[in-house]
Structure 1
Amino acid sequence: METRHFDYVVIGGGSAGYAAARTAKETFDNVAVIEDAEELGGLCILRGCMPSKTLIYSAEVLHLAQHGEKFGLKVENARADMKALHERKLVTIEDFSSYRREQLKSDRFHLIRDRAVFVDEKTVELKGSGERVTADYFMIATGSVVNTPDVAGLRETPHWTSDDVLDLDFLPESVIVLGGGIVACELAQFLNRVGTKVTQIQRSSIVLKETSPDAAEVVMKAFRDEGIDLHTDTSLESVAKEGEEYVVRFSENGESKEVRAAHLFNALGRKPNSAKLGLEKAGVETKKSGHIEVNDMQQTANPRIYAAGDVAGPFEIVHLAIMQGEVAAGHAAGKSVTPVDYDGKTAVVFTDPQIASAGISLAEAEDRGIAVVVADYPFDDHGKSILMEAKYGYVKTWADKASGKLIGAECVGKDAGELIHAMAVAITLGAKPADLLKVHWYHPTLSEIWSYPLEDLVDELGS
């Protein structure tokens, strides 16, 4: 059986894997990338960030057109052309995926299109060819896969995943969305806005548990105002297909309920793609969740094997996956590298209103025993958001009472994902609220809304 040896082997060609391969190539001569997906590019480009945000933005434009009377406009017969939406998405993501393909197929790397499984601590077997590959260092960046939890009938009932929703070229009449996480909420609102009757069922009392309860409440109100039939605090009992309809039975506040629709979308989360890698033979340990255990340099229990991105966690965020991949490859190369600083992380949910955060959350601050001062300000009392009819939400900032430095911020509202970066920069650089009040906050802009809670923080901190 043939065996090939490389200096550095990356398993997975997505954002974390490509970042690691690119960084490793700065030091190592012989770098290989093993990828078994039919298409090269990774989750973000092909079936995640880029296609979803392309479709979501189109749906936002349609939503504004359909509510043109709020702006003194008459836009007649505004509707979605699903085939055109689909085609625009394909063209858009091709721009990104073609670049990634070119990079992976370039002579910088040895690209191996096969599935790798560890057979010992320094060897993987390629399941297609039977060939074996050894390396001085391995990087595992296999991402995540759709989770199908144990709900009676769900596994046996054909259903959509996010891949299917992102690939639609027709308008579904009605859809039941199972789940209330980021993917579920973003795509439920997309479907609703293009004209589908949406019923969404969330098991916990709020959607978007990854965010704050205050933020989730704003989004839930917006969803219900837009006509989404949102059920929370439920217990799923069964899923079935009866004739041409999907039927979901569940209890809500102790009451048995049943909903029917033409389609069913399982959006009950994703799980790390770690189960079929033979990790136990490589001496790599995993958590109960399936995430690979790593240290702050992304090393696994086997110091020659690293992991990064969704398969390692702790967050499913692309820029963090890239940073992790760079740290891991740099460390393997013997460079002096700094671990990823999660205290400065940013996160965005692309619902409308959007939810964005920077720094550590109020809950995290409390867990660490950090005394904070907090201030907020609503969008419905702010000039630019009022004239834009963008009145949902608020901005909120908090500072460490002892040092006076900003340590966290949250924005729920129009273009929150853009607005949050003003606070992300401030938090990363260790700025105080008084420092930010030296900034020329232009009027009228959405960004100037930050100045109001900052003024309150200055008053409370005394400087």
Structure 2
Amino acid sequence: MKQTFDFLVLGGGSAGYAAARTFHEHGGRVALVDGAEELGGLCILRGCMPSKTLIYSAEVLHLAQKGSIFGFEGETPRANLATMQARKKKVIAEFSEYRKGQLEDGRFSLFRSRGTFVDANTIILADGTVLTAPKILISTGSEVKVPPLPGLSEVRYQTSDQVLDLDVIPPESVVLGGGVVACELAQFLSRVGSKVTLLQRSPRLLKEFPQAASDALQRAMIEEGIQLELGVNFKKFKQLEEEKIEVSYQQNGEAKEIVTGFLFLALGRVPSVHTLELQNAGVELLPSGHIKTNDFQQTSAPTVYGAGDCAGPHEIVHIAIKQGETVALHALGKKVKPMNYDCLLSVVFTDPQLAIVGLTVHQMKDRGIEFLTASYSFDDHGKSILMEAKHGYVCVHAEKITGRVIGAECVGKDAGELIHAMSVAVGLRAGVHDLLKADWYHPTLSEIWTYPIEDLAEEIPEVV
């Protein structure tokens, strides 16, 4: 059986749904193909929402365990993972049911199957159904990366899926990796009561973030009792008796090994595209495995688009949504701006949180932009001191001539919330003198931005 549509979407996550919704709003007939066990996508089911729900529970527990610092006594609280999981499932159910309803409300022809390319305009489903459309979007997301390390595929490792479904606290755990997922969930495991050792191949955590941000997080994690083994070279993984796993590695020329009953593999994710038969459509991949796209998300086959985690370059929900909307408008022939990441906003939900927006120092130097930078530390700020939230700093980058804010960093308590003040500034091309015209209430965490902003305003004359 063959069916024809105006637009065909593979994958019903954030990018796919945004594209399908936008195309439908302009009158197009849309087919959406999703063969996942549950509808909703990674963010809702196995990513953002479940992880942040559990991380916040662990943060509240961590604060409660520090009661003596804030002047109260009582029995030291302990984690009850069963209760945490029950709350997580309740929260996630609300989001997943809402998204499921959106996908099944009749706006799209929904096919609960997996598809492969026949050519650049044709998909065949598992049951033999053939779907055709003049434009097709690939938004199939990502999956856990299992690198070809000696013996790794032969041991019983855990992934983020299993960590997010834990109902029993492992007495100890070993985390492989030092990226966002590794750091967030390593701290979660530690705070609910597991003795955590983190093994990272890079010499620092979160290597994509500024060095100062990595340093601040490393100090906080070590202070909490997490053992960080950085700059390691994995040599061998071996399954032992009694469900134990031996990890052999080298660090600073010294051979080391560690035995664990809970090995958490968090060495990144890879695009879920290997079953799509992309070669039939002429779709090329980048060396990273991501789909190669232009600024309008078109692949090497002009009628095929890629968006979301499978395309990159940033695996972030709001970016996936923007990409999906861009795809739909471009496929419709509408006037649409190309994707631009100069205002990119990124957040890591560790404690302290890490958040950056706009251009990084490295990007500004590469582009030859003359800029000035000013920073201020949370350990010298009134509100953060009284909250015992002293780890971290804020930093603002501004153009040397105009004073326009082009980037900012925030590492500290609720950095993911605080960064939005600078996200607005970057997005609206505001200058440091503009920001000083606003009220900044005392005592708040947000007013910490005024210190670097005032320093920059003193160095940069106001343009009138």
TM-score range, shorter chain: over 0.9
| Contact 2:154–2:239 (Cα < 8 Å) also in 1 | no
Query: What residue number does 2:82 align with?
Result: 83
Following superposition, the deviation at residue 75 of structure 1 comes to: 3.8
String of CA shifts for 1:367-401, please: whole Å, max 9, x gaps: 11111100000000000000000000000001111
Counterparts of 1:74 and 1:50, CA distance in 2: 33
Which stretch of structure 1 is more off in the superposition, 430-439 or 20-29? 20-29
Counterparts of 2:195 and 2:131, CA distance in 1: 51
Query: What residue number does 1:210 align with?
Result: 208
1:114-193 matched pairs, under 5 angstroms: 114-127=113-126, 129-193=127-191
Query: What residue number does 2:30 align with?
Result: 31
Which stretch of structure 1 is more off in the superposition, 100-109 or 252-261? 252-261
- Could you say what the CA RMSD is over the residues aligned between the two structures, in angstroms? 0.9
Query: Which stretches in structure 2 are left out of the alignment for 5+ residues?
Result: none
SS at match of 2:154: coil
Letter in 2 for 1:240: K
Query: What residue number does 1:420 align with?
Result: 419
Following superposition, the deviation at residue 339 of structure 1 comes to: 2.0
SS at match of 2:197: strand
Query: What residue number does 2:230 align with?
Result: 232
Query: What residue number does 1:459 align with?
Result: 458
Following superposition, the deviation at residue 403 of structure 1 comes to: 2.7
Query: What residue number does 1:197 align with?
Result: 195
Using structure 2 for the length normalisation, give the TM-score.
0.98
Following superposition, the deviation at residue 28 of structure 1 comes to: 3.7
String of CA shifts for 1:345-365, please: whole Å, max 9, x gaps: 110000000000110111111
Counterparts of 2:109 and 2:136, CA distance in 1: 14
Percent of pairs with identical residues: 56
Query: What residue number does 1:94 align with?
Result: 93
Query: What residue number does 2:258 align with?
Result: 259
Structure 1 outlier segments of 4+, above 6 Å: none
Following superposition, the deviation at residue 58 of structure 1 comes to: 0.2
Counterparts of 1:120 and 1:335, CA distance in 2: 25
Counterparts of 2:387 and 2:403, CA distance in 1: 34
Query: What residue number does 1:278 align with?
Result: 277
Counterparts of 1:225 and 1:239, CA distance in 2: 29
Query: What residue number does 1:402 align with?
Result: 401
Residue 297 (structure 1) aligned with residue 291 (structure 2)? no
Using structure 1 for the length normalisation, give the TM-score.
0.98
Which stretch of structure 1 is more off in the superposition, 220-229 or 240-249? 240-249
Following superposition, the deviation at residue 27 of structure 1 comes to: 2.0
Query: What residue number does 1:45 align with?
Result: 44
Letter in 2 for 1:274: V
| Aligned residues between the structures | 461
SS at match of 2:135: strand
| Contact 1:82–1:169 (Cα < 8 Å) also in 2 | yes
Letter in 2 for 1:112: F
SS at match of 2:452: helix
Query: What residue number does 1:380 align with?
Result: 379
String of CA shifts for 1:4-51, please: whole Å, max 9, x gaps: 111111000000000000001012442111001000000000000000
